[in-house]
Amino acid sequence: METLEEAELCFPGLNTSCKKRIRPDSEAKIIYTLMSSISLLTASLNLLVIISISHFRQLHTPTNLLLLSLAVSDFLVGLFAMPFQILLTEPCWLLGDLVCALYYFIPFIIVPASVVNMLLISVDRYVAICDPLHYSTKITHRKVKILILLCWIYSVFYSFLFLYDNLKQPGRYNSCYGECFVMVILAVDLVLSFIIPISAIIILYMRVFVVAVSQARSMRSHIAAVKLQRSGTVTVKKSELKAARTLGVVVAVFLMCYCPFYCVSFSGADLMISSSTNTFISFLVYFNSCLNPVIYAFFYRWFRKSIKLIVSLQIFQPHSCEVNLL
């Protein structure tokens, strides 16, 4: 009987060891296969976005710089955050308290960076659609680069702010040996990582949607159509309406991926770190990083063209960076 109890411990013979949480082999195989595939797909898709925008000079626009920053954060999610999340599905954490603390440090940088990048993109689209005449003066390459730098500095500071105690003394909040648990102030994290940025994004997108709809209605008027043809802005307004629909999809997908995690946090429910529910809602947040390149990039013709050039290795030819993709 003693041998059976010891076999159920993460570290047999150690009194402070955690007990193993046994998961059926079939369930474990499905989880590992699915999560590994999504992790690889996330890293691959975002790497294509990074190469495309970095290599082709025609894509070096302020908007695409923001997409590049978002793709970098999403690429890091697929490369680091998702694989470690797979390890958290194991019955026991075997990599030590320091690695556990460092693991949480990574997503606490990447996820806020992804959210802030999305907020910056919404601001960029708001200015482009609602104030197009002043867009070139308000949104410049220099300003965008500074904002991206501030975004990543903020994300690093945010991570240190919430995980300082855990990094200073790794494992201090573990209830037993073989557990990976960190303590954060969920209420503050909920406000800074979700409520404030999401509220700003929704407000901006609602304004964009209202402007786009009003422009579409004016285009249906014969008199307005004549004026628009004289001014040569019909195609711009059509693209704005298309952008509004795309932004609606972006907001909906983003909320679907993030809401379950923060709703559970807000409710105060206590989920075990390796439970199936916790694994699902945590990975759903990361899965948004897989969808971002699909939503932001696959809707653009230039991305489909760049993929062909990258896959066929034509980007290694002389002057390939000057190719016309638009």
Q: How confident is the model at residue 236 (pLDDT cuts 50, 70, 90)?
A: very low
198-205: long-range pairs with CB below 8 Å, 24+: 198/254, 198/255, 198/258, 200/119, 200/122, 201/118, 201/119, 201/122, 201/251, 201/254, 202/251, 204/122, 204/123, 204/125, 204/126, 205/122, 205/126, 205/244, 205/247, 205/248, 205/250, 205/251
Asked if residue 39 has pLDDT above 70, the reply is yes
Give rounded-to-5 percent helix, strand, coil for the chain: 75, 0, 20
Asked if residue 101 has pLDDT above 90, the reply is no
Asked if residue 271 has pLDDT above 50, the reply is no
10 half-sphere exposure, CB direction, 13 A CA radius: 18
What's residue 68's pLDDT?
A: 92
What's residue 6's pLDDT?
A: 45
Report the share of the chain in percent with pLDDT over 70: 80
Mean pLDDT of 7-16: 71
**Burial label, 176 (beta-carbon count in 10 A; 0-12, 13-18, 19+):** middle
Q: How confident is the model at residue 5 (pLDDT cuts 50, 70, 90)?
A: very low
What's residue 47's pLDDT?
A: 94
Angle of helix 62-76 versus helix 97-130 axis, rounded to 10? 160
Give the list of residues 6+ apart from residue 77 with CB closer than 8 angstroms, or none.
42, 107, 110, 111, 114, 286, 289
pTM over 0.85: no
What's residue 239's pLDDT?
A: 58
Delineate the domains of the chain, giving CATH numbers in brackets: 37-322 (1.20.1070.10)
Amino acid at 145: K
